[in-house]
Amino acid sequence: MGRREYFTEYQQAEEERLLAQGELFDPLTRRLFAAAGLAPGLRVLDLGSGVGNVSRLAAEFVGPEGSVVGVDRDPDAVRRAARLAAAGGQGNVEFRVGDIEALTGLDGEFDAVVGRLVLMYLADPAGALRNAASLLRPGGLICVHEADLTYMWSSVDGPTWRQLRSWIVGVLQGIGADPRMGPSLFATFRAAGLPDPEMSMEAAVGGGERAPAFGWANIARVALPLMERAGIATAAEVDPDTLTERLLAEVHAEQGVVVGPCLYGAWARTPG
- Does 120 reside within a domain? yes
Q: Indicate which CATH number applies to the domain containing 148.
A: 3.40.50.150
Supply the DSSP symbol for 75: H
pLDDT at residue number 23: 74
Across the chain, which distance is largest between two alpha carbons, in Å? 56
For 154, list phi and psi in degrees, rounded to 5. -145, 150
- Does 7 reside within a domain? no
- Does 5 reside within a domain? no
- Does 56 reside within a domain? yes
**270, 138 contact by CB (below 8 A):** yes
**258, 154 contact by CB (below 8 A):** yes
Residue 120's closest CA among 154, 81, 86, 148? 148
| 197 Rama class: left (phi>0) / alpha (psi -120 to 50) / beta | beta
CA–CA–CA angle 181, 186, 7 (5° rounding): 15
Residue 50's closest CA among 5, 88, 23, 19? 19
- Does 230 reside within a domain? yes
- Does 2 reside within a domain? no
- Does 23 reside within a domain? yes
Task: Provide the whole-model pTM.
Answer: 0.89
- Does 264 reside within a domain? yes
pLDDT at residue number 181: 97
pLDDT tens digits along 16-60: 555 566 677 899 999 999 999 999 999 999 999 998 999 999 999
pLDDT tens digits along 222-264: 889 989 999 999 999 999 999 999 999 999 999 999 998 899 9
Residue 114's closest CA among 26, 15, 223, 10? 26
Q: Is the pLDDT of residue 115 over 90?
A: yes
Residue 127's closest CA among 202, 192, 199, 204? 192
What span, in angstroms and rounded, lies between the C-alpha atoms of 28 and 263?
Answer: 8
Percent of the chain with pLDDT over 90: 79
Q: What is the CA radius of gyration of the chain?
A: 18
Residue 20 belongs to domain spanning: 12-269
Domain count, the chain: 1
Residue 190's closest CA among 236, 96, 125, 240? 125
Q: Is the pLDDT of residue 148 over 50?
A: yes
